[in-house]
Chain A
């Protein structure tokens, strides 16, 4: 790739910043980035935690182990994501995590494994934190492939049809681009050249031009890009909310297709 994946630029932001924002939007608990020895990370939100992966090159189970260790006692389940998935949609994360709790009537499981586009996706999957001991045991035995872990677990497998059974995901990401990872420079360049996601921009209060009642649609992969698209200057007096939920003054907050970003005065209240 020529530069570490985490640092790859993505429309004014970076791949890692984008992915932590998209995952963080769905989960209630902390977001942990697992850093390889000496790995340089891009700027990340203050509440993102960084866990060290002590040994280079031991693969995803070692990363999962470092993350689970950092989360010890603070979460019941995790969504595990690779860094090279800029087209990840929060609806995908929601679908996978939801299946772990059996919210589609299938009963709870130890892990949820998407199987789509001809592959299993253990790096776009959900795990109960209780699996940590088994991960540790496998690492001890030098059995480093995720399949060894999955073989030991009660795994709920979601194929394309099962994934898209969720109407929210079907609308947000009908081709399951969430699972498209970038394996080489070409993949990256092709994905980066595609149009940015279509999002709605709503403005409130003095930020809304007189008479503009409906949100406007723009192509923008982050809050900063959306603001620029409608000619809005971001400063400490403006905050943005995504889908009427998370609020932030950070211009690098990522956006995904179909989301609505609302700009409002930081001077709340009265």
Chain B
């Protein structure tokens, strides 16, 4: 019998023929991978041909749901989009919350996978087991939110839509997939759909999820709801993630001018503490969320714009810009065009430094110049002029620009760094270096341990390694269950508490130890999959800037991350994870976790 919360099958759609078939998902696979990012890795391993290019027709892309989706558990309405990343060439998973997750699962599938390429720009419509391709029509060329609106108007309000914007159509390597105004943002999976000429996927629910213990789920949901409104989430509810910015500035962890500095003298102009009360016009929640971390500010020129720390840091201090209107306008344009704000800001900041160093002849592209920032965003989405280069991301751009520019291209595995300075957050430095999908703050939240003060954040060592491992394991569990990371502070003893939720939904008797092992398996499975697609130990490293250049924090103390220290942390991480010197899981580790050999 299929466990509660699952349908036990994925829908696999061939976009070339417009046909679909069901892929059974056996109980043991579901229990070993849970859902979301974990199940997505399994699907990618199963369905991606060896050596396939991420933008090739044969490359699959999966929308993966989870056992908790569709239950009233707060923040559970999420999905993972899993595919090979055009930016990194490696497997990537990007999460988003939305009604699309609930409706997509309501088609009676735990995942919807697409492969192949449409003959012309199209929309995939899924109702239960029925699929059809419709012409994208005049949605091609338009923004994701517009497309979503138009398709729901055309098909009916019961449909939910995930769509790409113009950046995805033009294969910008960090294009997003959007739904409900939320973005599966990192890794450029929007370009994978663009390459398939697939503008959007529209789903209509035909069935409901059945948990094993419906009353137990209701009780757990009520309890979680109460806890979700406590002090652990106050920051998200009252100010949103932008509350990070001013504090990060004071702690020298705010990346500035392409990581040339770790604080900006005008950072206060972008403080949520001041902008929130002055400009906030709305606060919203994702589907099925009681926290509501989405804060909207009035935008210059009318309308409103959603404000997130990562977008503001990347399009603000990272590019030397601190005028709030300029930064919010850039953020709004990225959302409309379907660009990942972190990689957009990261790549533009990199280009600005290339100009500063005389390596790129675009004299207008200067740090601190808001008009230049806006122009660069538009050129990127259009792939015009220098935009054709920017659209490739900083690592590929460095290969073209040459000189020693790769040393200050702030990326790992090709993915641009998020807003956490590695030299002053050295557990996070390790997390950024080793994470399977590249420099990322959602798959490794090791910065949390740096900010908690249990270790010296400027001096990476054994405690930092342990923090990075724990953080990845927790993230893997949350990304597979799926629960929003902003809920994490309400759990005092996460694995047993999460296991209890999973047991109530599925009917399995999962305990904290089993779930912790599952989390570890998911992390190791990603490393295994990375190895299958060519990742080596050389990919687990930070750009030279972080290892050669020091920073001084406000106390006067020097923050340095010598290469030997990073090497020692990575070696200790490999040992803790059961990886060999090549960065791939050893045969013994794979066997222990029930995973197949790297080459299958």
Contact = CB atoms under 8 A, between A and B. Distances in A.
A249 interface: yes
A268 B246 contact: no
Interface in B410-449: 420, 441, 445, 447-448
B459 A244 contact: no
A267 to B, nearest CB: 5
B553 A268 contact: no
Interface stretch (A32-40, A65-73, A203-211, A224-232): A203-211
A235 interface: yes
A213 B267 CA distance: 13
A28 B456 contact: yes
A49 interface: no
B486 A270 contact: yes
Given A206-B234, A237-B234, A247-B457, A269 B553 contact: no
A260 B555 CA distance: 9
Nearest to A264: B247
A243 B232 CA distance: 25
B445 A246 contact: no
Contacts of A264: 247, 451
Nearest to B248: A268
6 contacts: A28-B456, A205-B273, A239-B452, A243-B556, A247-B453, A270-B244
Given A204-B273, A270-B236, A244 B244 contact: no
B176 to A, nearest CB: 18
B61 to A, nearest CB: 27
B539 interface: no
A245 interface: yes
A133 B573 CA distance: 37
A211 B276 CA distance: 11
B556 A205 contact: no
Contacts of A265: 234-235, 243, 247
Contacts of B274: 213
Nearest to B236: A270
B454 to A, nearest CB: 8
Kindly name the residue among A204, A210, A213 whose own CB sees the greatest number of chain B CB atoms within 10 A. Answer: A204
Contacts of A268: 244, 447-448, 450-452
Interface residues of A, number: 35
Contacts of A266: 451-452, 489
Interface residues of B, number: 47
A11 interface: no
Given A213-B268, A237-B231, A262-B250, A249 B452 contact: yes
B275 to A, nearest CB: 12
Interface string A83-101: 0000000000010000000
A235 B231 contact: yes
Given A244-B555, A245-B554, A202 B445 contact: no
Nearest to B489: A267
Contacts of A237: 231-232, 234, 489
A168 B554 CA distance: 13
B105 to A, nearest CB: 26
B243 A206 contact: yes
B272 A246 contact: no
A269 B407 CA distance: 26
A242 interface: yes
B557 interface: yes
B429 to A, nearest CB: 15
A185 B441 CA distance: 54
Contact of B308 (A25, A235, A270): A270
Contacts, number: 117
Given A202-B250, A204-B273, A249 B453 contact: yes
A243 B555 contact: yes
Nearest to A268: B451
A254 B553 CA distance: 19
A248 interface: yes
Contacts of A25: 555
A241 interface: yes
Contact of B243 (A204, A246, A248): A204
Interface in B382-406: none
B350 interface: no
A210 B309 CA distance: 19
A249 B241 CA distance: 21
Contacts of B441: 269
A266 B250 CA distance: 15
Contacts of B555: 25, 242-246
Interface in A151-188: 168
A205 B447 contact: no
Interface in B200-256: 231-236, 238-241, 243-244, 246-247, 250-252
B26 interface: no
Given A28-B459, A208-B273, A245-B458, 17 more contacts: A205-B239, A205-B246, A205-B273, A241-B251, A244-B252, A245-B553, A247-B452, A247-B453, A250-B453, A262-B250, A266-B489, A267-B235, A267-B489, A269-B447, A270-B244, A270-B308, A270-B310
Contacts of B452: 239, 247, 249, 266, 268
Interface string B460-500: 00000000000000000000000000100100000000000
The 5 closest A-B pairs by CB, nearest first: A244-B554, A270-B241, A268-B451, A247-B453, A245-B555
B404 to A, nearest CB: 30
A268 B234 CA distance: 12
Given A235-B231, A245-B553, A206 B238 contact: yes
A248 B453 CA distance: 4
Interface string B349-376: 0000000000000000000000000000
